[in-house]
């Protein structure tokens, strides 16, 4: 097949000239939003808002336009929804960039997420398609799952948006580059795994360990005991890791980090297209930077052993992981 190659005025090479204007925007976001292409809080939050925007979609009733940017444009409405707690920070951080650049709100949110994820070593290079029209209205409340929801209702919400259980679990790889500010407000930036700056399988591993303590003043609503000091565990992640409908999909991400990365890439593309007419979009994926490879391999946290693993899938043998050397340590918060 022939791939077109176009040289942009700034020397970048892409397959479609319509994508050239994205390079200066990429540069601005990397320097001024992501603090020099860091996989930190703003990159994490750019991914979270991309989910919260896109999931405002249903195959069965009108709850919103999907990945249309309504969460930015109609933030007065959507930020009042309980499940959007903490999203105000990233709306405030992204709005000046959105206003400065000539992208629709839906394109802006999905572009920023793809760029932010690219800053995390080990991540897939997410696809980015350009050309979403402006949002028409705010999404309805209750489209975003909550950490205190049960597995049945979480899977029902994902199904209603077009995602099977295996696809919902694939999207939860996002929590490998994530932290919570609002679940326990006394300890902002508390990560969901020991490596919030790396897109690795530690999240899927560590959620299967026996819980022993709360990192702050918990338990709070939607929080259950975590295995490592300084780590937050959501009740929803705990349940999905162990439920018979999802446990084998969860463990598949432990057994194969390659599957984890590829499945996340596929499902993020699907998420980014909810409510959109793909025939009107232009593939500008070649503007997204290539993430660095991940350093290190899957392991158990120091101080733990295979006896602490609550393996919940009888079809797959849990891999013989070894623990980091030394005594149990704690995980530092994500501060910026
Ligand atoms: C069962 C589904 C899900 C539930 C219940 C859930 C819940 C949560 C909660 C409670 C937080 C912490 C918010 C805070 O206290 O600041 C969080 C953070 C986050 N979530 Fe999810 N989430 C789900 C699925 C997803 C999906 C599908 C994605 C992306 C594809 C995603 C991406 C993130 C990211 C990146 C963060 C960290 C944000 C940051 O560090 O600033 N989540 N999630
Ligand atoms: Ca991680």
Q: What is the value of ipTM here, to two decimals? A: 0.99
For the CA of 149, the closest atom of ligand 1 is 5
Q: Which residue's C-alpha comes closest to atom 8 of ligand 1? A: 147
Ligand 1 test: best mutation among 151, 175, 196, 198, most atoms within 8 Å of CB?
175
Q: What distance in angstroms lies between residue 136's CA and the mean position of ligand 1's atoms?
A: 25
- CA 138 – CA 135 distance, rounded (Å): 8
For residue 116, which ligand has an atom nearest its CA?
1
How many whole angstroms from 65 Cα to the centroid of ligand 1?
A: 20
Q: How many CB atoms within 10 Å of residue 142?
A: 12
CATH topology of domain 151-257+297-308: Peroxidase; domain 2 (1.10.420)
Q: Give CA–CA dist 246/243, Å, rounded.
A: 6
- Distance from the CA of 120 to the center of ligand 2, in angstroms? 9
C-alpha of residue 172 to centroid of ligand 1, in Å = 8
Q: Which of ligand 1's atoms lies nearest the C-alpha of 182?
A: 15
pLDDT given at position 91: 98
Question: In this structure, are residues 114 and 124 in contact, taking their beta carbons and an 8 Å threshold?
Answer: no
Atom nearest to 267 CA in ligand 1: 30
Domain assignments of the chain as residue spans, ordered by start: 16-144+269-287, 151-257+297-308
Residues 6 or more apart from 159 whose CB is under 8 A from it?
A: none
Q: What is the pTM of this model?
A: 0.98
Considering every ligand atom shown, identify the ligand nearest to the alpha carbon of residue 241 and give its number. 1
What DSSP letter does each residue of 96-148 carry, written as one string? HHHHHSS--HHHHHHHHHHHHHHTSTT------EE-PPPP-SPPPTT-S--TT
Helix (H), strand (E) at residue 329: none
Residue 36: predicted pLDDT:
98
Question: Is 44 an annotated catalytic residue?
Answer: no
CATH number of 16-144+269-287: 1.10.520.10
- Is 68 flagged in the annotation as binding? yes
Q: In this structure, are residues 310 and 165 in contact, taking their beta carbons and an 8 Å threshold? A: no
Question: How confident is the prediction along the chain (336 residues), in pLDDT tens digits per residue?
Answer: 667 899 999 999 999 999 999 999 999 999 999 999 999 999 999 999 999 999 999 999 999 999 999 999 999 999 999 999 999 999 999 999 999 999 999 999 999 999 999 999 999 999 999 999 999 999 999 999 999 999 999 999 999 999 999 999 999 999 999 999 999 999 999 999 999 999 999 999 999 999 999 999 999 999 999 999 999 999 999 999 999 999 999 999 999 999 999 999 999 999 999 999 999 999 999 999 999 999 889 999 999 999 999 999 999 999 999 999 999 989 999 998
54 in contact with ligand 1, CB cutoff 6 A: no
Joined together, the tokens standing for residue 80 give 């009042």
Residue of 52, 82, 101, 220 marked active site: 52
- Pairing between β-strand 179-180 and β-strand 129-130 as defined by DSSP bridges: unpaired
Q: Quick one: residue 275, left, alpha or beta (phi over 0 = left, psi -120 to 50 = alpha)?
A: left
The phi, psi pair for 9, rounded to 5°, reads: -55, -30
Rounded CA separation 197/191 (Å): 10
Closest CA to 304 of 205, 186, 157: 205
Distance (Å, whole) CA 30 – CA 37 = 5
Does residue 47 have its Cβ closer than 6 Å to ligand 1?
yes
Output the 3-class SS for 295-321.
CCCCCECCCCCHHHECCCCCCCCCCCC
Sequence-ordered list of residues with C-beta below 8 angstroms from that of 93, at least 6 positions apart, any chain: 33, 42, 45
- Half-sphere exposure of residue 320: CA atoms within 13 angstroms, side-chain side: 0
């Amino acid at each position: 097949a022939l791939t077109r190659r176009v040289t942009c005025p700034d020397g970048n090479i892409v397959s479609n000239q319509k994508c050239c204007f994205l390079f200066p925007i990429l540069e601005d976001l990397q320097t001024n939003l992501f603090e020099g292409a860091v996989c930190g809080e703003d990159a994490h939050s750019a991914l979270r808002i991309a989910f919260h925007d896109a999931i405002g979609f249903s195959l069965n009733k009108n709850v919103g336009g999907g990945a249309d940017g309504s969460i930015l444009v109609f933030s007065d409405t959507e930020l009042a929804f309980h499940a959007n707690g903490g999203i105000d920070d990233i709306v405030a951080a992204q709005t000046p960039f959105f206003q400065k650049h000539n992208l629709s709100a839906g394109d802006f949110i999905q572009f920023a997420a793809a760029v932010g994820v690219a800053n995390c070593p080990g991540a897939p290079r997410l696809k980015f398609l350009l050309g979403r029209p402006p949002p028409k209205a705010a999404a309805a409340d209750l489209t975003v799952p909550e950490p205190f929801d049960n597995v049945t209702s979480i899977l029902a919400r994902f199904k209603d948006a077009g995602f099977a259980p295996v696809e919902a679990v694939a999207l939860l790889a996002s929590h490998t580059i994530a932290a919570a500010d609002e679940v326990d407000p006394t300890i902002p930036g508390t990560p969901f795994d020991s490596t919030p700056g790396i897109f690795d399988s530690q999240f899927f591993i560590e959620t299967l360990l026996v819980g022993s303590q709360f990192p702050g003043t918990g338990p709070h609503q939607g929080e259950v005991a975590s295995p490592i000091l300084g780590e937050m565990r959501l009740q929803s992640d705990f349940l999905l890791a162990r439920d018979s409908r999802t446990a084998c999909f969860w463990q598949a991400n432990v057994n194969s980090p390659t599957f984890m990365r590829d499945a996340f890439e596929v499902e993020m593309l699907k998420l980014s297209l909810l409510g959109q007419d793909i025939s009107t979009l232009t593939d500008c994926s070649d503007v997204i930077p290539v993430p660095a490879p991940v350093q290190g391999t899957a392991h158990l946290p120091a101080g733990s052993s295979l006896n602490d693993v609550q393996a919940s899938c009888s079809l797959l043998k849990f891999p013989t992981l070894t623990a980091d050397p030394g005594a149990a340590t704690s995980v530092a918060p994500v501060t910026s």
